[in-house]
């Protein structure tokens, strides 16, 4: 059944659940399509998101963490939200077992601008939990069919402590590859941590990626973004070549319900990916970087 | 095509339309008129100024069921709610409201993904617009003239109606209008004198006085961008605002909605319901973060969305000057005055 109504979710099966972090509040859900037609029509690019839907609980907009080069499934990494009042949908997702069915609507939003990134050096900067669509992008670029379309790839990824790094196995694999420079840092290591310590902005300053023919793609908590952007300005990156992905409360995901309206843009359908030049044009009552 | 009918026989017209589909028209309720389905031809009543709630309810009902589900059953077994739309006649729409449908069309079915519910309802509906009575002064709150809409403006209607003494003149504006008028046997042919009256009425309508200021969409859009960060301006404008949201509910061009699951004993419906940017939790995120916690930020969002963001995104102001938000605001916040002050700020 191909579902043409953009408000009705398509059914998916949870085929694998991966606990990502020590605190056990971030899980990756691998979903497979119940209908072949849905799978064929679900064509996405890194940076897009989908509404994960549990009937009786609601829907949540979550970035797609898998790469379109991975066939047969899609993945979402979800944090259980809320400390005082639990996030209804994310809690329900976390309570699921493998084999459960959920709904999704998507793919939604724009994506990381793949064509714009082609032939350029890409500096991927991520912090904490906000690494999901960046992981999708890196895996997309690293795929053998795609790698030669892009220049040098540098990944700078940080978390508060080693236990909070996502996708640990993949990070280790990237570190072994010669066609990607992977720098992993933690704010504070533990006894077993052999790697780098330091905040993401400081590490970016130290690594000092060249702005020549380069684009940086930054995703992280507001505080990280606030201190990382000036570093890239100083390095000489232009506002058009600094990209980020916005979050905002969403409902419909297709630019109709009005909820994620910021200035004359809808984050869901005009974004979530914006360049810093785009953002400065918007009237931001959501200033995170000023 | 110009037709006419004696107002005394208007009930025959109602009966004929009811045979052909669903007839919706202003119906008198305790507090005033509202659009509702006409069940008895005698209910059709032309003695109203305008309805309390705008006729957007016909295309964007306050509740729209999407899908029925049972929480214990697999997702694949949820049943989408079929939208069986009968031919609908929306009778007696005022010119400002008819214009609002065109503005909403840009959002719901002329840009991006098409909203299937809005589109199906729009396609199935014939709009019978009706001029304001030019012998009665416009109500104080109205300012549709400011938005370039005349009191007898046929734009946005399929059939446009003007009262002439004891008669109701009905002119087809669109092919849909032609078609339905041709099928209504009880209508008489309009005479040349009727045609002249109709045309002069429309001209006269554009002179019918409401509150009016010179307003260029691009100018006000830019002006609001310039004063967006003026906390003082917005705090003063919103000082009395209760965030009750009635302005958005009665508004013909407010479309924000929520999607929620309504479950009882494991059976439920996912539906969309009207929401409002004036409500405190409109932008509240699961993390607890809320980018618009202050009343002034929310009122600013509403005003700027209509008069600035919408202009930048779709090229038109998303307001038709119907005056409802001002009329029903419990604390007399008046968007016309806000725009006037903004222009001076």
Task: Kindly state whether residue B247 falls inside one of the protein's structural domains.
Answer: yes
Which chain B residues are within 8 Å of A286, Cβ to Cβ? Answer: 291
Question: Long-range CB contacts (< 8 A, 24+ apart) of B325-330?
Answer: B325/B246, B325/B247, B325/B248, B325/B250, B325/B251, B326/B141, B327/B139, B327/B141, B327/B250, B328/B52, B328/B246, B328/B247, B328/B250, B329/B246, B329/B247, B330/B242, B330/B244, B330/B246
Question: Nearest-CA residue of chain B relative to A261?
Answer: B305
Residues B124 and B273 grouped into a single domain: no
Residues B297 and B327 grouped into a single domain: yes
pLDDT tens digits for A30-51?
Answer: 999 999 999 999 999 999 999 9
Instruction: Report the pLDDT averaged over residues B163-186.
Output: 95
Position A282 scores a pLDDT of 75
CB-CB neighbours of A130 under 10 Å: 21
Residues B176 and B195 grouped into a single domain: yes
Q: Decide: helix, strand or coil at residue B205.
A: helix
Task: Test A258 with B256 for CB contact under 8 angstroms.
Answer: yes
Can you give the C-alpha Rg of chain A in angstroms?
Answer: 18
From B152, B175, B207, the end of a domain falls on: B207
What is the distance between the alpha carbons of residues B81 and B58, in angstroms, rounded to a whole number? Answer: 17
Task: Test A251 with B259 for CB contact under 8 angstroms.
Answer: yes
B80 pLDDT exceeds 70?
yes
- What average pLDDT is seen over chain B? 94
- The confidence band for A1, taking pLDDT boundaries of 50, 70 and 90, is very low
- What average pLDDT is seen over chain A? 91
Residues B55 and B167 grouped into a single domain: yes
Instruction: Report the pLDDT averaged over residues A57-61.
Output: 94
Which residues are paired to A28 by β-bridges? A18, A77
Residues B56 and B192 grouped into a single domain: yes
- The confidence band for B345, taking pLDDT boundaries of 50, 70 and 90, is confident
Nearest Cβ partner of B292 from A103, A257, A285?
A285
Residues B135 and B231 grouped into a single domain: no
Task: Test A256 with B107 for CB contact under 8 angstroms.
Answer: yes
pLDDT tens digits for A264-280?
Answer: 899 999 989 999 888 88
Task: Kindly state whether residue B52 falls inside one of the protein's structural domains.
Answer: yes
Parent domain of B67: 2-207
Nearest Cβ partner of A81 from B256, B261, B287?
B287
Q: Minimal Cα–Cα distance from B79 to chain A, Å?
A: 10
Task: Test B285 with A257 for CB contact under 8 angstroms.
Answer: no
B295 pLDDT exceeds 90?
yes
pLDDT tens digits for B24-62?
Answer: 999 999 999 999 999 999 999 889 999 999 999 999 999
Q: Which of A1-15, A195-209, B114-128, B211-225 has the lowest mean pLDDT?
A: A1-15
Question: What global pTM score does this model have?
Answer: 0.92
Residues B50 and B143 grouped into a single domain: yes
Residues B238 and B180 grouped into a single domain: no
Task: Test B304 with A247 for CB contact under 8 angstroms.
Answer: no
Instruction: Report the pLDDT averaged over residues B99-122.
Output: 93
Count of the separate structural domains present in chain B:
2
A82 pLDDT exceeds 90?
no
| Chain-centre distance for alpha carbon A93 | 18
Residues B167 and B237 grouped into a single domain: no
**Residue B79: both structure tokens together:** 């049943």
A145 — phi, psi (to 5°)? -75, -20
Which chain A residues are within 8 Å of B304, Cβ to Cβ? Answer: 283
Task: Test A251 with B74 for CB contact under 8 angstroms.
Answer: no
Q: Which of A63-67, A130-134, B229-233 has the lowest mean pLDDT?
A: B229-233
Residue B108 contacts A where some CB pair is shorter than 8 Å: yes
Task: Test A58 with B259 for CB contact under 8 angstroms.
Answer: yes
From B207, B234, B263, the end of a domain falls on: B207
Nearest Cβ partner of B76 from A101, A249, A256?
A101
Mutation target vs A (from B75, B276, B292; most A CBs, 10 A cutoff): B75
A139 pLDDT exceeds 80?
yes
Residues B150 and B32 grouped into a single domain: yes
Residue B192 contacts A where some CB pair is shorter than 8 Å: no
Which chain B residues are within 8 Å of A256, Cβ to Cβ? Answer: 107-108, 112-113, 115, 255, 257
Task: Kindly state whether residue B133 falls inside one of the protein's structural domains.
Answer: yes
Comparing B6 with A263, which gets the higher pLDDT?
Answer: B6
Mutation target vs B (from A249, A255, A284; most B CBs, 10 A cutoff): A249
- The confidence band for B150, taking pLDDT boundaries of 50, 70 and 90, is very high
Are residues B66 and B78 in contact, defined by beta-carbon separation less than 8 angstroms? no
Residue B67 contacts A where some CB pair is shorter than 8 Å: yes
Task: Kindly state whether residue B170 falls inside one of the protein's structural domains.
Answer: yes
Task: Test B285 with A248 for CB contact under 8 angstroms.
Answer: yes
Instruction: Report the pLDDT averaged over residues A68-96.
Output: 90
Q: Decide: helix, strand or coil at residue A2.
A: coil
Task: Test A7 with B312 for CB contact under 8 angstroms.
Answer: no
Task: Test A55 with B277 for CB contact under 8 angstroms.
Answer: no
Residues B103 and B226 grouped into a single domain: no
Beta-carbon pairs below 8 A across chains A and B? 132
Position B291 scores a pLDDT of 87
B95 pLDDT exceeds 90?
yes
Task: Kindly state whether residue B212 falls inside one of the protein's structural domains.
Answer: no
From B207, B231, B258, the end of a domain falls on: B207
Proportion of chain A above pLDDT 90, given as a percent: 83
- The confidence band for A258, taking pLDDT boundaries of 50, 70 and 90, is very high
Structural domains of chain A sorted by starting position, each given as residue range(s) with its CATH number in brackets: 10-106 (2.40.30.10), 114-245 (3.40.50.80)
Q: Decide: helix, strand or coil at residue B53.
A: coil
Instruction: Report the pLDDT averaged over residues B145-163.
Output: 96
Residues B48 and B154 grouped into a single domain: yes
């Amino acid at each position: 059944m191909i579902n043409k109504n953009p408000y009705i979710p398509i059914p998916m099966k949870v085929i694998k659940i991966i606990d990502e972090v020590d605190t056990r509040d971030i899980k990756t859900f691998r979903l497979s399509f119940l209908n072949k037609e849905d799978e064929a029509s679900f064509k996405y690019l890194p940076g897009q998101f989908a509404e994960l839907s549990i009937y009786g609980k609601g829907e949540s907009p979550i970035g797609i963490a898998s790469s379109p080069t991975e066939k047969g499934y899609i993945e979402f990494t979800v944090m259980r939200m809320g400390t005082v009042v639990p996030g209804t949908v994310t809690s329900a997702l976390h309570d699921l077992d493998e084999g459960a069915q959920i709904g999704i609507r998507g793919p939604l939003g724009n994506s990381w601008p793949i064509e714009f990134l082609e032939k350029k050096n890409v500096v991927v900067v991520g912090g904490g939990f906000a690494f999901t669509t960046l992981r999708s992008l890196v895996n997309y670029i690293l795929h053998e069919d795609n790698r030669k379309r892009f220049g040098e790839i540098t990944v700078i990824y940080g978390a508060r402590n080693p236990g909070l790094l996502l996708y640990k196995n993949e990070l280790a694999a990237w570190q072994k590859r010669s066609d990607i420079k992977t720098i992993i840092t933690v704010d504070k290591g533990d006894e077993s941590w052999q790697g780098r310590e330091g905040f993401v902005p400081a590490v970016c300053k130290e690594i000092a990626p060249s702005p020549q023919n380069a684009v940086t793609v930054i995703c992280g908590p507001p505080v990280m973004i606030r201190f990382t952007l000036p570093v890239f300005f100083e390095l000489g990156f232009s506002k058009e070549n600094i990209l980020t992905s916005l979050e905002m409360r969403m409902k419909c995901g297709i630019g109709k319900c009005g909820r994620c309206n910021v200035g004359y843009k809808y984050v869901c359908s005009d974004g979530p990916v914006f360049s810093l030049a785009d953002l400065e044009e918007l009237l931001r009552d959501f200033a995170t970087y000023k | 095509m110009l037709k006419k009918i004696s107002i005394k026989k208007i009930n025959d017209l109602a009966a004929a339309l009811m045979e052909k589909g669903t007839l919706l028209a202003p119906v008198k309720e305790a507090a005033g008129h509202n659009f509702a389905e006409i069940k008895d031809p005698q209910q059709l009543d032309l003695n109203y100024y305008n309805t309390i709630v705008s006729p957007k309810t016909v295309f964007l009902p306050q509740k729209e069921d999407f899908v029925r589900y049972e929480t214990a059953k697999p997702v694949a077994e949820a049943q989408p709610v079929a939208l069986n739309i009968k031919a609908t006649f929306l009778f007696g729409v005022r010119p400002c409201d008819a214009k609002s449908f065109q503005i909403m069309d840009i959002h719901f079915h002329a840009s991006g993904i098409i909203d299937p519910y809005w589109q199906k309802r729009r396609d199935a509906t014939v709009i019978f617009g009706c001029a304001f009575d030019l012998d009665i002064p416009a109500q104080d709150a109205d300012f549709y003239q400011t938005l370039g809409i005349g009191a007898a403006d046929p734009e946005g209607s399929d059939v446009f109606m003007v009262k002439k003494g004891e008669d109701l003149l009905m002119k087809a504006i669109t092919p849909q209008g032609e078609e339905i008028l041709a099928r209504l046997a009880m209508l008489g042919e309009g005479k040349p004198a009727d045609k002249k009256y109709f045309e002069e009425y429309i001209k006269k309508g554009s002179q019918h006085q409401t509150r009016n200021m010179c307003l260029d969409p691009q100018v006000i859009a830019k002006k609001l961008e310039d004063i967006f960060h003026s906390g003082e301006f917005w705090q003063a404008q919103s000082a009395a605002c209760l965030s009750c949201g009635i302005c958005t509910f009665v508004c013909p061009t407010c479309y924000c909605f929520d999607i929620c699951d309504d479950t009882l004993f494991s059976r439920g419906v996912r539906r969309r319901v009207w929401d409002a940017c004036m409500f405190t939790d409109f932008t509240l995120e699961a993390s607890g973060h809320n980018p618009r916690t202050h009343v002034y930020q929310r009122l600013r969002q509403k005003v700027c969305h209509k008069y600035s963001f919408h202009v930048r995104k779709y090229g038109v102001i998303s307001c038709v000057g119907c005056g409802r938000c001002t009329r029903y605001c419990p604390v007399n916040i008046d968007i016309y005055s806000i725009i006037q002050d903004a222009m001076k700020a």
